[in-house]
């Protein structure tokens, strides 16, 4: 199942990138906000992790490869925080990822100054840094986390003149941790990202 989801994600991203390649970017912008994240553990894993807030920010570019297709490509730096804290023990894993979402855009409402769009697509992530914090003491845990991952993305966007507001749900389809760890503790990203940006 995991390999089927991963293959589908890579195919979708490849097709979209190929379609956007010859198109000229319509505009671009910057965005930033917060990532409200948790993880979905395997059915046999008994762990109670908490919703944690991290930062997300970067840039986006928009393309119009065809009349009916509008694409948005992004390069974001996003924090995924897994919070194991309980009973006075503060334990968190913080992954800082380079996230590359590729989204198809559909206009729901197009006014003179306000536009509303639905977006959907896939995202590819590469882990830049990974740290574990135990009551203030930190250590590198890159060897225990998967070096890359993939997700599906569903989003809603409101654009007011040149300001852009986005809310999206990120559904991870690959394990956060390395195969040796994921065999006993499978965990996949689940996050809601809320951002504000400006297009140029």
Q: What is the mean pLDDT of the chain?
A: 86
Provide the CATH number for the domain around residue 60: 2.40.160.20
Q: Regarding beta strands 69-83 and 52-66, do their DSSP bridges make them parallel or antiparallel, or are they unpaired?
A: antiparallel
Lowest mean pLDDT among 21-25, 33-37, 53-57, 92-96: 21-25
Q: How far apart are CA 18 and CA 5, in angstroms?
A: 20
Residues in Cβ contact with 163 at an 8 Å cutoff, skipping those fewer than 6 apart: 196, 197, 198
Q: How many CB atoms lie within 10 A of CB 179?
A: 9
* 4-30 pLDDT per residue, tens: 544 554 554 555 455 545 556 688 999
pLDDT digits (tens, 9 = 90+) for 143-186: 999 999 999 999 999 999 999 999 999 999 999 988 777 677 78
- CA 30/CA 61 separation, integer angstroms: 9
User: How buried is residue 101: exposed, middle or buried, by Cβ count under 10 Å (0-12/13-18/19+)?
Assistant: buried
Q: Tell me the whole-structure pTM to 2 decimals.
A: 0.83
Residue among 83, 77, 65, 3 nearest 34 (CA): 77
Phi first, then psi: give them for residue 51, nearest 5 degrees: -65, 130
Give the C-alpha separation, 162 to 29, whole Å. Answer: 9
Structural domains in the chain (count): 1
Confidence of residue 2 (pLDDT cuts 50, 70, 90): very low
Domain range for residue 192?
A: 2-199
The token pair that represents 20 in the structure block: 């956007």
């Amino acid at each position: 199942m995991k390999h089927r989801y991963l293959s589908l994600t890579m195919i979708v991203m490849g097709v979209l990138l190929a379609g956007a390649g010859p198109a000229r970017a319509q505009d671009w912008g910057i965005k930033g906000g917060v990532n409200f994240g948790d993880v979905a553990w395997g059915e046999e894993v008994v762990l109670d992790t908490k919703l944690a807030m991290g930062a997300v920010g970067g840039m986006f570019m928009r393309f119009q490869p065809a009349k009916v297709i509008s694409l948005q490509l992004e390069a974001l730096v996003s924090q995924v925080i897994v919070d194991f804290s309980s009973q006075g023990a503060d334990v968190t894993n913080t992954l800082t990822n380079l996230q590359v979402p590729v989204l198809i855009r559909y206009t729901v409402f197009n006014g003179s100054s306000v536009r509303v769009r639905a977006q959907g697509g896939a995202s590819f992530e590469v882990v830049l840094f990974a740290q574990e914090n135990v009551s203030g003491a930190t250590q590198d845990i890159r060897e225990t986390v998967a070096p890359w991952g993939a997700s599906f993305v569903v989003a809603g966007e409101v654009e007011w003149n040149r300001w852009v507001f986005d809310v999206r749900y990120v559904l991870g389809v690959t394990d956060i941790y390395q195969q040796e760890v994921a065999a006993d503790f499978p965990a996949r990203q689940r996050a809601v990202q809320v951002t504000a940006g400006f297009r140029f």
